[in-house]
Amino acid sequence: MKTLGVVPARFASSRLPGKMLKDLGGLPVVVRTAQQACKASSLDEILVATDHPDIENAVKQAGINVVMTRPDHPSGTDRIAEAVEQVEAELIVNIQGDEPFVDPATLNALVARMKQTDCPDMGTASTPILTEEELHEPSVVKVVADSSGRAMYFSRSLIPHCRDASPATLLSTGLYQRHLGLYAYRKTFLKAWKDLVPHPLEDTEKLEQLRALANGFSIAVIQVDQTAPGIDTLEDLEAARARFRVPPSSDPLTSPLS
């Protein structure tokens, strides 16, 4: 079963304009992300899907496959659906371009789940929320899954609501889960996705995965212990740059790129 890793990389960014091309240890952020994804043994190939020629050129110079896509896609999944139309692959893994520290082990675990016979057409990952601050932070997307590990809902709000106690008292139970920005799809699902119009829930929360749930598709959720920091703001970028100045032996997520 051929598995393709796709890195959607649009140029526009409201909080950090042009972040895909920002320098991170001598290479653009998007190139660092693609290189890190290459460490996942489950991925047969890596492809960057972008809407901007400067990103295309930077990725090509790094020797990574890249394809140009339309600039008007409302989500990374829409961009990937276009990018893989002519690609021969049964499984597609979406690795967001601003995740240069994505854990290869998480990618491998997600692919392994997608290869199980009972897996639905889409999969993603979560990790326990550990601080009260994250519970109430809208940028930390929460997910609630059922007893079989399939997503019930995703939200920027605190879910589930704790009626009789402070939510912070339940942090140690693992009840509150942070959604990680990774997705895996079967190629057949992406073909169906192209015909789905954005749903009001998706438009309201600004979460593309709600389009799938609202249209009756199920999403498998694997739980992992480790989350890798993404880059959304200038502060995130500076923190990422600081990690590259840490000796590789003391930071396992940066050592493959050193």
**Three-state SS for 241?**
helix
Mean per-residue pLDDT, 172-180: 93
pLDDT value of residue 3: 96
Tens digits of residue pLDDT in 60-89: 999 999 999 999 998 899 999 999 988 889
pLDDT value of residue 249: 53
- Where exactly are the structural domains of the chain? 3-234
- Report the run of H or E that residue 135 belongs to, with start and end: helix 132-135
Closest among 37, 48, 46, 43 to 2, alpha carbons compared: 43
CB atoms within 10 A of CB 155: 18
d(CA 142, CA 139): 9
Closest among 62, 1, 37, 48 to 228, alpha carbons compared: 37
d(CA 106, CA 125): 8
d(CA 234, CA 237): 5
Residue type, 141: V
Query: Maximum CA pair distance of the chain?
Result: 56
Query: Can you spell out the DSSP letters for 30-64?
Result: HHHHHHHHTT-TT-SEEEEEES-HHHHHHHHHTT-
Confidence band, pLDDT 50/70/90 cuts, at residue 57 = very high
Tens digits of residue pLDDT in 19-33: 999 999 999 999 999
> Percentage of the chain surpassing pLDDT 70?
95
Strand partners, 150: 220
Mean per-residue pLDDT, 38-55: 96
pTM of the model as a whole: 0.90
pLDDT value of residue 252: 47
Kindly report the three-state secondary structure assignment for every residue of 81-101. HHHCCCCCCCEEEEECCCCCC
Mean per-residue pLDDT, 227-248: 85
pLDDT value of residue 248: 55
Do residues 59 and 67 lie in contact, with contact meaning Cβ atoms separated by under 8 Å?
no
pLDDT value of residue 228: 81
CB atoms within 10 A of CB 216: 6
Do residues 4 and 43 lie in contact, with contact meaning Cβ atoms separated by under 8 Å?
yes
Closest among 237, 223, 220, 249 to 101, alpha carbons compared: 237
Specify the CATH number of the domain 3-234: 3.90.550.10
Mean per-residue pLDDT, 107-129: 93
Crossing angle of the two packed helices 53-61 and 29-37, in degrees rounded to 10: 50
Confidence band, pLDDT 50/70/90 cuts, at residue 257 = very low
Give the residue, 252 or 40, on which the prediction is more confident.
Answer: 40
d(CA 69, CA 80): 9
> Strands 177-186 and 142-145, how do they pair?
antiparallel
d(CA 177, CA 144): 7
- The token duo for 6 is 């796709």
